Structure 1
């Protein structure tokens, strides 16, 4: 018990010591196994700063300029300026309702953080578990700062749950779009690294959450993330799978109430900083195959969800070819699939935080209004994030 208390105190001290002028961009890396000595910690901090200032991959930027300049027109210059300035990127702090939160909320609020969820969208609340600190209803489980204030990532301590997860707050929108209810069976089809799976468990108490990841190495990362945030008592309700996501719709059909397809995509932020021009060029070459894979995953999800259930499709790219075009093609081939408009449900209440556009507002784009697109802009650097919800007719 004394060990747990000391580690909690250490985490809180780290938060208190963070500065709003920090130039360190945190990343949710695979956690270390042990506490880092002070000298080594400073060295690693400097190395992380260097890593965040890696060289821009010019072939990827040239490709984005050509495509997004055409698709987004006058929105692309502002989005481009954000993507080229990692120091301006904002990070949300998602609290873990299963951990001992102590006075973290007060510390965050004293630093200018506030909950971004309106009361009508405040599902990120603790249950009656004795391991959770009850939060007042006006406090959601994710806190944002209007400036790029960077909290330190928490290290992994065996047997001790992490208190918060750093994330792009736009990635919570697909989870909110699922409209989760307690007791439902949920499938996270492409789950690694696990941020959305954690958000699902902060949102509701599903009877089953299947976290699937086809890549073995990414599955290991996913397993470690879940271990760091979820108590042992949930292990019988949160299961890991290592299947090809395209097979879920085959047998047994209609197993799940809700399915999230956070599909493999271009990942605009990371691709711009590919390790070298050769890697960037290879990624651009492989990009042409992504829409076919994404469509197959979405069709599989529609087969796995029960009649009347919902599928949410999301990506972290601005690309029309991987977003609205994929959804439109699947809708054309699946008569049982019905697109639902998310504008009033999500864009209106969250417009103060995110810059939303309908993908159909893309220049030269004639597709139906397929979902929402969050475009990063100065001062609101969240995104890119595309999402849509499809209902399977009964």
Structure 2
């Protein structure tokens, strides 16, 4: 029965691959990624190859779950040579496309784990959150990175923002499912336009995460409506404008000396490297922070684009390492005299 369901699921995904989007990606990414695009394309168009990491919830720890994961062949995301890798962050990976069942939301009961693309943890780790800091997750829904940040440290104040009202409800439910009430009390959830937050809360935060709205290559490929897909291709040109505006706002909200991490889940150079370059070329109060060491540390579990990333890292899906796409760049705001 399970095998039949899996096969039905694979057929469903296969039918949903949108040729308009795939052709668009073929034209763009074959130029930007070169030969690497062939493998990336094969992974992105084959959901049966996708992998799902298991992020444990330290607020409802289960040693039995950890034992079970090890028995199933999972291993922990590498811990060790990064300058800052919190022991409280525990994520288990499998080299095969295993997926645990999602736990249901139950009021008053915390979930034991969160399923995610393991590359989503790289922006979290790059932010280096520490106890007592004030942190802003500017585009927080559905909440996976917010949950991961809270596995790393106890912030003094945590502001989770989401402009989309439907996604905001998803964010609230995610927080309720994983975070105890005592910690919820130091979390502010808002529905503000991220582009206005810098003016509303200038130089408030020690750390800011901008996990920006982007093309989201994985989900976009499985659009069944070709006309809508063609429309989104046209709209895609405007995304870098929004992303730059969000980053400018984030810089305003960041205190002098504070750190900002920008991330997307697209391969697009226009939404990744070009956005960061635009900020560095027009904002004289921020500088790039080198995170190339992360690529060396996590090369056992992730594949990174071999070239073309001047300031950030780009995780690209690969055979046996079907994580990403995930772009990560880190910036520091200059300290005032």
Structures share fold, TM-score greater than 0.5: yes
Instruction: Give the 3-state SS of the residue equivalent to 2:16 in structure 1.
Output: coil
| Number of the residue aligned with 1:301 | 250
Q: Report whether the alignment pairs 1:147 with 2:108.
A: no
Aligned equivalent of 1:281, options 196, 205, 230 = 230
Q: Distance in 1 between matches of 2:10 and 2:47?
A: 11
Distance 1:383-1:309 versus aligned 2 partners, 3 A rule:
same
Q: Distance in 1 between matches of 2:4 and 2:246?
A: 40
Q: Distance in 2 between matches of 1:216 and 1:57?
A: 27
**8 Å contact 1:99–1:161 — kept in the other structure?**
yes
Aligned equivalent of 1:348, options 292, 296, 299 = 296
TM-score in terms of structure 1 length: 0.81
Distance 1:98-1:79 versus aligned 2 partners, 3 A rule:
same
| Number of the residue aligned with 1:38 | none
Aligned equivalent of 2:221, options 268, 272, 275 = 272
| Number of the residue aligned with 1:378 | 319
Aligned equivalent of 2:263, options 314, 318, 321 = 314
**8 Å contact 1:250–1:304 — kept in the other structure?**
yes
Q: Distance in 1 between matches of 2:188 and 2:9?
A: 33
**8 Å contact 2:121–2:148 — kept in the other structure?**
yes
Q: Distance in 1 between matches of 2:112 and 2:313?
A: 30
Aligned equivalent of 2:186, options 237, 242, 250 = 237
| Number of the residue aligned with 2:53 | 92
Q: Distance in 1 between matches of 2:4 and 2:168?
A: 32
**8 Å contact 1:248–1:304 — kept in the other structure?**
yes
1:1-394 equivalent positions in 2, closer than 5 A: 24=6, 52-121=13-82, 123-126=85-88, 140-344=89-293, 346-357=294-305, 361-362=307-308, 369-394=310-335
RMSD: 1.9
**8 Å contact 1:22–1:149 — kept in the other structure?**
no
Moved more, 326-335 or 114-123: 114-123
TM-fit CA distance, 1:370? 2.0
TM-fit CA distance, 1:251? 2.9
**8 Å contact 2:13–2:222 — kept in the other structure?**
no
Distance 1:68-1:49 versus aligned 2 partners, 3 A rule:
closer
TM-fit CA distance, 1:120? 4.1
Instruction: Give the 3-state SS of the residue equivalent to 1:298 in structure 2.
Output: helix
CA deviation profile, 1:256-301 (whole Å, cap 9, x unmatched): 0000000000000000001311221121111011000000001111
Q: Distance in 1 between matches of 2:301 and 2:4?
A: 22
Any gaps of 5 or more consecutive residues in structure 2? none
TM-score in terms of structure 2 length: 0.94
Distance 1:141-1:319 versus aligned 2 partners, 3 A rule:
same
Q: Distance in 2 between matches of 1:370 and 1:299?
A: 17
Distance 1:78-1:47 versus aligned 2 partners, 3 A rule:
closer
**8 Å contact 1:125–1:202 — kept in the other structure?**
no
| Number of the residue aligned with 1:9 | none
**8 Å contact 2:127–2:259 — kept in the other structure?**
yes
**8 Å contact 1:261–1:311 — kept in the other structure?**
yes
TM-fit CA distance, 1:51? 5.1
Q: Distance in 2 between matches of 1:281 and 1:80?
A: 19
CA deviation profile, 1:21-41 (whole Å, cap 9, x unmatched): 8975xxxxxxxxxxxxxxxxx
**8 Å contact 1:376–1:383 — kept in the other structure?**
yes
Instruction: Give the 3-state SS of the residue equivalent to 2:200 in structure 1.
Output: coil
Q: Distance in 1 between matches of 2:107 and 2:12?
A: 27
Q: Distance in 2 between matches of 1:253 and 1:376?
A: 38
**8 Å contact 2:10–2:48 — kept in the other structure?**
no
**8 Å contact 2:135–2:157 — kept in the other structure?**
yes
Bigger Rg, structure 1 or 2: 1
Instruction: Give the 3-state SS of the residue equivalent to 2:281 in structure 1.
Output: helix
CA deviation profile, 1:93-116 (whole Å, cap 9, x unmatched): 000000142410000001111111
Q: Distance in 2 between matches of 1:165 and 1:53?
A: 26
